Chain A
Amino acid sequence: MRRAAPLVAAALLAMALVGALALGPLRLPVGDVLGALGQLAGLSLQADPQALAVVGSLRLPRALLAALAGAVFGLAGAMTQGLFRNPLADPGVLGIAGGASLGAVSAIFFGVASLSVWALPATGFVGGLAAALLVSRIARSDGRTPVATLLLAGIAVNALAMSLTGILVYASDDRQLRDISLWLMGSVGGATPLRIWILVPFAALLLAGLPFFARGLDALMLGEREAVHLGIGIETLKAGVIGCVALAVGAVVSCVGPIGFVGLVVPHIARMILGPGHRLLLPVSALASAALLVAADTFARLAVAPAELPVGLVTAAIGAPFFAAMVARSKRRLAL
């Protein structure tokens, strides 16, 4: 079971991707979808032009963005939970989502967002990063960053970001309010190839650090002092996890909005099945979160077609009952 987990998660992701490419409000024959994919892959096929446009410029970018965002949320969630040794931790604890929301909401409020499609993601990214920097700056003393202080600093910065966001929401007009609430529900609808290319290096950063982080987080489970005895550079590990998570989640949230649930709960489910070892947990969380977000987005596109649901609502609606069932089944093992 444990050995097969990465394969199962990868298979789930593959199935979700196939579904995302084949299904949509616009009914395309499977042959046309394959033809379009073939032509996109550089094979000299003559694809149906409409299928090519829909698959190439709508479904494929969207599915890839959802997969990328899901993987980053899942990986970042699993890493943060490991770092804080706290099952309630997610990247939100570091103030990233709060800061990114403040940035995005101010872009909408001050009208910058309508100047360019890049304005909102840019301010969101800057906001998320600034909040994470502030959190670690507040928590650091004598070159050390105790995890408990980090948690409290995160609460303080989040509260500040939320109150500032609240002030802007209060002062917003009707139209801005609608925009803000829609952004907060999250959507991968604005996927373009360029956006994906911009996100790839951020996701790669997180993936590249994975082997190092997995070893460090495993050692950290024994306690900070024990980890030091095992030869883990504990402050380097913390700075690395916080830095990479802040950059990657900040970039993703600014593109798709704060899609909740995925980063918090998928790593949990993975931990219930696999146990706490990060070497398996991290990649499985990434793959399973990507699969969940891709599947949720496909559902969001189909459920009320030709309109669509905000994907953040779907992830919670699909995941929460599943999670509740898992908790009910393994109450005893959960006694933390």
Chain B
Amino acid sequence: MRGFLVGLFCLSAATICLAGETSQRIVVAGSGLTEIVHALGAGDRLVGVDTTSLFPARAGELPQIGYLRALSAEGILSLRPNLLLATEDAGPPAVLQQLSSAGLEVLRAREGFEPEAVAARIEMVGRALGKESEAAALQATLLADIARVQAALPVAGPKPRVLFLLAAGSAVPMVSGRDTAASAMIVAAGGVNAVDAYRGYKPLTPEAIALAAPDFVLTTEQSLVALGGREALLRLPAFAVLARSGGLRVLSYDAVYLLGFGPRTAHALRDLAAAIHPARQLPALPHRPWLEARF
């Protein structure tokens, strides 16, 4: 009888704990943070995400709070959240102020393209979710995976020159300079960003591309669609000469996979590194559950 009562007490305590956890209603602004929440097993607590949060698939089915630099205070409140996880980028500042003063807890994640910055974001989200141990495990796995890729990179020899191209609509494609997510990925994968004369993105100019002499053109799948395919890219005047001499290869990845700096970063890094060091047989990383779109 006593055992039964203790058991009943434990069960009800557990249900209360469970209820306490699931009553968390989270809105996220930032694709990397959305992926972290899912990887920590709390995807069912999300009630809204920004337009960049397209992965995993069920995040894309949630109510959209719009572009993360143009959030709407009442729109977010209408989802009745009790936590907003946002990147440093999210805004406008006045709206975030309004949300805080309306009593919503707003947590901002530090930007940064280093493995440590990704790890710090995982720790922050873990603490907010009450999933510290899962966060520690995810951190350790991710950092170990990244270290494994980087340990397999060639130590000596010339580094491949990689140019990152971004295209949207029919506008002139943009080329990444220094201090961008793309540049950070290229460098981490053992390459050299072929264009480092400026910060951020600038429109593509044929002569500058010839001068940059890239071995690889890295782009996103979304950009390839906008341009009209791989062949269309190689027909751009800037690349036609390089392509004819046979010295140019086009690599493309999903934009959020390549530049999201979330839990999938290690695998994106491995794919990029393997592609730009074809002579080097880079080992595949173990499969992780958070790579699944149906996760």
Q: Tell me if A25 is interfacial: C-beta within 8 Å of chain B.
A: yes
Annotate A165-202 by CB proximity to B: 1 below 8 A, 0 otherwise: 00000101111101100100001011110000000000
Q: B67 near A179 (CB under 8 angstroms)?
A: no
Q: B74 near A190 (CB under 8 angstroms)?
A: no
State the CA gap A142–B174 with chains docked (Å).
51
Q: Tell me if A26 is interfacial: C-beta within 8 Å of chain B.
A: yes
Q: A301 near B75 (CB under 8 angstroms)?
A: yes
Q: Tell me if B23 is interfacial: C-beta within 8 Å of chain A.
A: no
Q: B73 near A304 (CB under 8 angstroms)?
A: no
Q: Which of A51-59, A209-217, A276-284 contacts B (4 or more CB under 8 A)?
A: A51-59
Q: A24-B74, A306-B48, A307-B64 are in contact. Are A189 and B180 (CB under 8 A)?
A: no
Residues of A within 8 A of B63 (CB): 306
Residues of B within 8 A of A304 (CB): 64, 66
Q: B78 near A25 (CB under 8 angstroms)?
A: yes
Give the nearest-CB partner of A174 in chain B: B201
Contact partner of A182 (CB less than 8 A), chosen from B70, B103, B180, is B70
Q: Which of B30-38, B90-98, B245-253, B278-286 contacts A (4 or more CB under 8 A)?
A: B90-98
**80-133 of chain B: CB within 8 A of chain A:** 89, 91-95, 97-98, 101-103
Residues of B within 8 A of A178 (CB): 67, 69
Q: B75 near A305 (CB under 8 angstroms)?
A: yes
Q: Tell me if A27 is interfacial: C-beta within 8 Å of chain B.
A: yes
Give the nearest-CB partner of A49 in chain B: B103
State the CA gap A170–B201 with chains docked (Å).
9
Residues of B within 8 A of A172 (CB): 200
Residues of A within 8 A of B48 (CB): 306
State the CA gap A243–B93 with chains docked (Å).
31
**289-336 of chain A: CB within 8 A of chain B:** 301, 304-308, 310
Q: Tell me if B288 is interfacial: C-beta within 8 Å of chain A.
A: no
Q: A192 near B94 (CB under 8 angstroms)?
A: yes
Q: Tell me if A117 is interfacial: C-beta within 8 Å of chain B.
A: yes
Residues of B within 8 A of A192 (CB): 94, 97-98
Give the nearest-CB partner of A175 in chain B: B89
Q: A306 near B92 (CB under 8 angstroms)?
A: no
Distance in Å from the Cβ of A173 to the closest Cβ of chain B? 3
Give the nearest-CB partner of A172 in chain B: B200
State the CA gap A191–B65 with chains docked (Å).
19
Residues of A within 8 A of B72 (CB): 25, 189, 301, 305-308
Contact partner of A26 (CB less than 8 A), chosen from B69, B77, B200, is B77
Residues of B within 8 A of A187 (CB): 70, 92
Q: A306-B65, A306-B79 are in contact. Are A25 and B70 (CB under 8 A)?
A: no
Give the nearest-CB partner of B48 in chain A: A306
Q: B74 near A59 (CB under 8 angstroms)?
A: yes
Contact partner of B74 (CB less than 8 A), chosen from A54, A117, A174, A175, is A54
Q: A26 near B74 (CB under 8 angstroms)?
A: yes
State the CA gap A307–B65 with chains docked (Å).
4
Q: B93 near A117 (CB under 8 angstroms)?
A: yes
The interface size of chain A toward B, counting residues with CB under 8 Å, comes to 32
Residues of B within 8 A of A191 (CB): 94
Q: A24 near B78 (CB under 8 angstroms)?
A: yes
Q: A173 near B77 (CB under 8 angstroms)?
A: no
Residues of B within 8 A of A26 (CB): 74, 77-78
Contact partner of A189 (CB less than 8 A), chosen from B73, B78, B102, is B73
Contact partner of A53 (CB less than 8 A), chosen from B66, B103, B199, is B103
Annotate B151-184 by CB proximity to A: 1 below 8 A, 0 otherwise: 0000000000000000000000010000110000
Contact partner of A117 (CB less than 8 A), chosen from B67, B73, B94, is B94
Residues of A within 8 A of B69 (CB): 175, 178-179, 182
Distance in Å from the Cβ of B149 to the closest Cβ of chain A? 26
Q: B66 near A308 (CB under 8 angstroms)?
A: yes
Contact partner of A305 (CB less than 8 A), chosen from B78, B91, B199, is B78
Distance in Å from the Cβ of B199 to the closest Cβ of chain A? 6
Q: Tell me if B76 is interfacial: C-beta within 8 Å of chain A.
A: yes
State the CA gap A190–B98 with chains docked (Å).
8
Distance in Å from the Cβ of A160 to the closest Cβ of chain B? 23
Distance in Å from the Cβ of B263 to the closest Cβ of chain A? 23
State the CA gap A173–B76 with chains docked (Å).
27
Contact partner of B95 (CB less than 8 A), chosen from A24, A174, A189, is A189
Q: A25-B74, A189-B94 are in contact. Are A307 and B66 (CB under 8 A)?
A: yes
Distance in Å from the Cβ of B228 to the closest Cβ of chain A? 22
Give the nearest-CB partner of A191 in chain B: B94
Q: B97 near A306 (CB under 8 angstroms)?
A: no
Give the nearest-CB partner of A24 in chain B: B74
Q: B103 near A190 (CB under 8 angstroms)?
A: no
Contact partner of B75 (CB less than 8 A), chosen from A25, A175, A176, A310, is A25
Q: A57 near B102 (CB under 8 angstroms)?
A: yes
Q: B98 near A306 (CB under 8 angstroms)?
A: no
Contact partner of A27 (CB less than 8 A), chosen from B78, B94, B97, is B78
- Can you list 27 A-B pairs, Cβ within 8 angstroms, ordered by A? A24-B78, A26-B77, A27-B78, A53-B102, A53-B103, A57-B101, A117-B94, A173-B199, A174-B201, A175-B69, A178-B69, A179-B91, A182-B69, A182-B70, A189-B73, A190-B94, A192-B94, A301-B75, A305-B72, A305-B78, A306-B63, A306-B75, A306-B76, A307-B70, A307-B75, A308-B66, A308-B75
Known: A117-B97, A306-B78. 20 other contacts (CB 8 A): A24-B74, A53-B102, A53-B103, A54-B74, A54-B102, A57-B98, A170-B202, A173-B201, A179-B69, A182-B70, A191-B94, A304-B64, A305-B72, A305-B75, A305-B78, A306-B64, A306-B66, A307-B51, A307-B71, A310-B70
Give the interface of B toward A (CB within 8 A). Answer: 48, 51, 63-67, 69-79, 89, 91-95, 97-98, 101-103, 174, 179-180, 199-202
Give the interface of A toward B (CB within 8 A). Answer: 24-27, 53-54, 57-59, 114, 117, 170, 172-176, 178-179, 182, 187, 189-192, 301, 304-308, 310
